[in-house]
Amino acid sequence: MSELETYRQSARVFLDSMAPKYARPARSGNTVEQDLALGRQYMAARYDAGFAGINWSPEFGGQGLSNLHKIAFDAEEMQYGMPVGFFGISLGMPVPMMIHYGQDRDFVKERVTKALRGEEIWCQLFSEPSGGSDLAALRTKVEPDGNGWRMNGQKVWTSWAQYADYGVIVTRSDPTVAKHKGLTYFWVDMKAPGVEVRPIKLAGGDSHVNEVFFDNVRLEDEQRMGEVGGGFGLALHTLMIERYIATDSAGFGPHLDLFVKLAKETTLNGRPAIEDGRIRSAIARNHAMRAGLDSITRRAMLMMQAGMQPGPEGSLQKLVAVRSRQKLSELALDLQGTAALPFDEHAYVKEDWGTSWLNAPTGRIAGGSDEVLLNTIAEKVLGLPQDYRPDKGIPFNQIPA
């Protein structure tokens, strides 16, 4: 038995021991607040058992294992439906960025430990109402204020901001230079004076995203991450991580096995739908596509394990996975006919086709819209020339608003 398979089995033993209290059946009927409290308990138990920060350095409370160990554990954990959704973004992007770029290393170590234990949550403050999918068009501004900065502006679609203790944020520090060059990256205390969070209710019924307002929020210079004016590079680093960490080949929708099960149980023209050539073709295409995306992810993880940064292929992963989830969910609803009409806003997105279909458009915006990803693939993967950009090289404050 390989070392990785031995590790996978030890993960199963731990998860089996946690399931009676924390797995999806035990959480049925919980409010969001009850689920969050249960999630914090589970994260602490996971930390104590040595399954937190699996591929992080022991210097920051991690286990010092490979990315493949993390993939193995995540694959096992996903089957149980543990209450980890509140912490996915926190541990996926903001906290790794703090490890890379945080100035006060003692502060960073304390934050990392608390985040791994579920005691603190981080959010990612990128999108803005006026910027659309163009991150470099953001208008949240910081201005020098003594030995620090003063921040004003608004962010939107910030996941779990209502429960976050800290966040990472990209700001406009110099409007007199080209839009990509005048940005600076900070971490922000979400409980600081001047920070206001307002939840947004989505079509699916939940409110995990928010708009966040900043009114003269004080930032110390030690909260700056990276160089002044270097924020766009750090933002790209964050998004490269997000497009691998914050996705899976199913686009966070139901597993293909559930569609096969549905096709076996549903009739089409008086015969089981699984016998229809069009349905079998859809299953084959999805299987091949998801296998290909899993290979891209594995390659990226091996690159990171070798000390390299993942490349733009992550844009392909996210684009194809969520699109295919939406189409497969739509096909599943069509197969069910009128039986698909009842909607349960508390249903699990990876098990319910209606919930998956209704929430899929959100996934096609988060982490970069389809259009942005297509441009990235065209330019960075295929080597095609850039689109015409009339604002390229123009000082930001001279671009018509």
pLDDT (0 to 100) of residue 241: 67
Counts for the chain of helices (H) and strands (E), in that order: 13, 10
- Helices assigned H by DSSP within 155-255: 231-245
Q: Is the pLDDT of residue 159 over 90?
A: yes
Domain match, 211 and 272 both: no
Q: Is residue 352 part of a domain?
A: yes
Q: Is the pLDDT of residue 242 over 60?
A: no
pLDDT (0 to 100) of residue 319: 87
Single-letter code of the amino acid located at 243: R
Domain match, 252 and 361 both: yes
Q: Is residue 324 part of a domain?
A: yes
In this prediction, residues 77-102 reach a mean pLDDT of 93
Q: Is residue 240 part of a domain?
A: no
Domain match, 56 and 144 both: no
What's 354's domain CATH number? Answer: 1.20.140.10
In this prediction, residues 159-188 reach a mean pLDDT of 97
Single-letter code of the amino acid located at 230: G
333 is written with which tokens?
């609803």
Q: Is the pLDDT of residue 104 over 90?
A: yes
Last residue of a domain, one of 67, 94, 120: 120
356 is in which domain, residue-wise?
Answer: 247-365
Q: For residue 400, what are the β-bridge partners? A: none
More confident position, 218 or 399: 218
pLDDT (0 to 100) of residue 154: 97
What's 179's domain CATH number? Answer: 2.40.110.10
Q: Is residue 197 part of a domain?
A: yes
pLDDT (tens digit, 9 = 90+) per residue, 194-204?
999 999 988 87
pLDDT (tens digit, 9 = 90+) per residue, 278-317?
999 999 999 999 999 888 877 777 776 676 766 677 778 8
pLDDT (0 to 100) of residue 243: 52
If you average pLDDT over every residue of the chain, what do you get? 91
What's 99's domain CATH number? Answer: 1.10.540.10
In this prediction, residues 330-346 reach a mean pLDDT of 91
pLDDT (0 to 100) of residue 326: 94
Domain match, 264 and 289 both: yes
Q: How far is CA 138 from CA 44, 199, 205, 327, 390, in A?
A: 37, 21, 28, 32, 17
In this prediction, residues 240-261 reach a mean pLDDT of 76
More confident position, 240 or 157: 157
Last residue of a domain, one of 82, 98, 120: 120
Alpha carbon distance 217, 345 (integer Å)? 36
- The region of weakest confidence among 39-43, 167-171, 391-395 is 391-395
Domain match, 106 and 150 both: no
Q: Is residue 389 part of a domain?
A: no
In this prediction, residues 160-185 reach a mean pLDDT of 97
Q: Is the pLDDT of residue 364 over 70?
A: yes
Last residue of a domain, one of 230, 262, 277: 230
Alpha carbon distance 232, 184 (integer Å)? 7
Q: Is the pLDDT of residue 247 over 60?
A: no
In this prediction, residues 358-387 reach a mean pLDDT of 86
pTM for this predicted structure:
0.86
In this prediction, residues 131-148 reach a mean pLDDT of 90
pLDDT (0 to 100) of residue 96: 93
pLDDT (0 to 100) of residue 272: 95
pLDDT (0 to 100) of residue 181: 94
Domain match, 205 and 287 both: no
Number of domains present in the structure of the chain:
3
Residue whose tokens read 């939406």: 326
Domain match, 130 and 52 both: no
Domain match, 220 and 257 both: no
| % of the chain residues with pLDDT over 90 | 67
pLDDT (0 to 100) of residue 4: 87
Locate the DSSP E strands across 4-163: 122-125, 141-145, 148-156
In this prediction, residues 36-53 reach a mean pLDDT of 97
pLDDT band at 117 (very low <50, low <70, confident <90, very high): very high
Domain match, 20 and 72 both: yes
pLDDT (0 to 100) of residue 317: 81
